[in-house]
Chains A and B, each alone.
Chain A
Amino acid sequence: MLWNTLLLALRAIRRNLMRSFLTILGIVIGVAAVITMVTLGNGATKSVSDQISSMGSNLIMLIPGQRFGAGSSGAPNFKLADVESIRNQIGVAKAVAPIANKATTAVYMAENWSTVVSGSNNDYFKAGNWELAAGRTFTEAEERAGKAVCVIGDTVRTKLFGGQNPVGSEIRIKQFACEVVGLLKAKGQSAMGSDQDDTVVMPLRTVQRRLTGSQDVNRLTVSVREGASIDAVKDQLTLLLRERRNIGETEEDDFRVLDTRQLAETLTGTTRILTMLLGAVAAVSLLVGGIGIMNIMLVSVTERTREIGIRLAIGALEREVLLQFLIEAVVLSSLGGLIGIALATGASIALSNLMDIPYLFDAGINLLSFFFSAAIGVIFGYFPARRAAGLNPIDALRHE
């Protein structure tokens, strides 16, 4: 019975090619959209967390003011003395880098390039997981004297020097000439989407004296030894800085202490929400596909009811008719589901490449959308048939 019914189901599919095609199409679109969206979202999340880990692990950032990013809002900047104090008091601090930033233009021969100059010390490279492609970092004497030397990022090198080795050349920053002593290895985009290699690093003193004209430090970066408790270090840092900044017991902090893990959570949280949003949009297309299928099925219900009448009249059992319709629905929707998965895989791989994010196969979403689409196909293909197959043959034949 099963074999014969399978034959009947396949014949019914073949005989209604247009209807079968549209049913499959509805499922293909829905399944492909959901899987592609979710896969790309997962890839984006992964890429963000990868970039965060490239920033350096066990990193703590100290920023004046309570709001991240939007200026110091009146809160005083840090001082160079804070660096010494942290070094002395917090034993597990592997590297403490003060940072003073200044946006400016770098010039070499006829080329010029707008970039950000960061004044810091050699700990800056350690904390940020930077490696040198050529040259060296600063000497102690250079740091102390605030010499006009700099280490440049790969983007700045490309813009000013093309493919040449910049080490030993002099670039102009504002009014002074500055010797390039080192070139950093390229790191690519940061988690926030900015180009990490678009940077010029100088000794802190040099920047303070020649560019910002103040003793201020905009940011402190502390890298903690492996295995140390980040939370404990954060607490110690908070206490230390509250004391140094004379904050009364009842007053709130006028600085923030952030660690990379927190940053990672915030950012991947954002992309995860984005993934869910994309998934929801795609789920709507799955639903629309389902409604399309329902439409096709309802339009053909008259014809199919009469077909069922004919089958019953020549002696088909109700369950044989139902089994045929069930097989038909399952074959069509699983075919649609499989094509949808294949299409989604192709599209996800291509788009991941295009967007430069990793491709991650997510079995869960593949299975979920496959079974959801199969359910739609079966519900809309099978249930109208169930009604018809329960009629007297003559009533099914007379249906209009």
Chain B
Amino acid sequence: MTDATALIRLSGITKTYGQGQAAFLALKGVDLAIEPGEFVAIMGPSGSGKSTVMNILGCLDTPSSGTYVFEGVHVEQLTRDQRALLRRNYLGFVFQGYNLLARTTALENVELPLIYRGEPAAARHAAARAALEQVGLGGWEDHTPAELSGGQQQRVAIARSIVTRPAVLLADEPTGNLDTRTSQEIMDLITALNRDRGITVLMVTHEPDMAAYAKRTIRFVDGRVESDQLNGGAD
């Protein structure tokens, strides 16, 4: 964990929701460094700011203060469009609620990021099929989210997040809505992506079983990092 090689570094990140009387300080100064290829679990009680920090890491939201450096680039100084391009080219995000486009086939959902990248149709289709194959959904290309189970929808979401071969996969409670068996399958998938493809993974979870798949656990309490340790037995 030497800072020189850090892929991601947060320092003094704060986030205030609301204004004036109703203002709420969700992050009270977060310092973090993530190395390339790491698999990090983020845990902590509800309301401790896990999702808030994930959204900032994923450039879906902006911090109130502090610096966020991604591969040497100061993210807080980027324009809206530059942050969009960062999401497009380096980040993959998996949500607890899947967030797939309704009434749109699995294949079209997965190829969506590639359309924004301007990839030609043939390459796009091949990559989307391969990603679906990789998450174990070969043959389900033409199914819409309404025709898929929760676990299958989450696999489509994962396929969508990895189809661009991102440097970092950010997953906010990816198994939060799934049963134990399906959760384990998803975790195996994410572990494999981290191990075989070298994708850096940050994952929020409430369940120690799921956190055990990671190599490092960061614990949030009340908007601050409370502990940050390597997992002894996981690997």
Q: A residues touching B (Cβ–Cβ < 8 Å)?
A: 1, 4, 7-8, 11, 15-16, 303, 306-307, 309-320, 392-395, 397
CB-defined contacts of B61 to chain A, threshold 8 Å: 392-395
Bound Cα distance from A320 to B118, whole angstroms: 12
- The 8 Å CB contact of A7, one of B84, B89, B91, B115, is B115
Instruction: Say whether B160 faces chain A, with CB atoms less than 8 Å apart.
Output: yes
**Number of B residues whose C-beta is below 8 Å from A?**
32
Whether the pair A317, B81 counts as a contact (CB closer than 8 A) is yes
Instruction: Say whether B46 faces chain A, with CB atoms less than 8 Å apart.
Output: no
Bound Cα distance from A15 to B93, whole angstroms: 24
- The 8 Å CB contact of B88, one of A11, A16, A310, A315, is A315
Name the residue on B nearest A393 (C-beta): B60
- Do A310 and B99 form a contact, CB below 8 Å, given A4-B116, A315-B87, A394-B61? yes
Pick from A15, A16, A307, A309 the residue with the most CB of B within 10 Å: A15
Whether the pair B60, A313 counts as a contact (CB closer than 8 A) is yes
Whether the pair A4, B115 counts as a contact (CB closer than 8 A) is yes
- The 8 Å CB contact of B80, one of A15, A318, A394, A397, is A318
Name the residue on B nearest A318 (C-beta): B80
CB-defined contacts of B99 to chain A, threshold 8 Å: 306, 309-310, 313, 397
CB-defined contacts of B59 to chain A, threshold 8 Å: 393
Prevailing SS type, chain A contact patch: helix
B15-30 contact mask (Cβ, 8 Å, vs A): 1 or 0: 0000000000000000
B113-128 contact mask (Cβ, 8 Å, vs A): 1 or 0: 1011110000000000
- The 8 Å CB contact of B112, one of A15, A314, A392, is A314
Bound Cα distance from A319 to B80, whole angstroms: 11
Bound Cα distance from A211 to B59, whole angstroms: 101
| A317-B81, A394-B61 given; 10 more Cβ-contact pairs under 8 Å | A1-B118, A4-B116, A310-B101, A311-B116, A313-B58, A314-B116, A316-B84, A316-B116, A318-B84, A393-B87
- Do A314 and B108 form a contact, CB below 8 Å, given A15-B103, A394-B55? no
Bound Cα distance from A394 to B108, whole angstroms: 22
Whether the pair A317, B115 counts as a contact (CB closer than 8 A) is no
B32-73 with Cβ < 8 A to chain A: 55, 58-62
Whether the pair A314, B113 counts as a contact (CB closer than 8 A) is yes
Q: List 7 A-B contacts (CB under 8 A).
A: A1-B118, A315-B88, A316-B116, A318-B81, A392-B61, A394-B55, A394-B60
Least CB distance from A274 to B in Å reads 47
- The 8 Å CB contact of A15, one of B88, B101, B161, B164, is B101
CB-defined contacts of B100 to chain A, threshold 8 Å: 310
Q: Which 6 A-B pairs have the closest CB atoms?
A: A315-B88, A394-B60, A315-B87, A393-B60, A15-B103, A314-B113
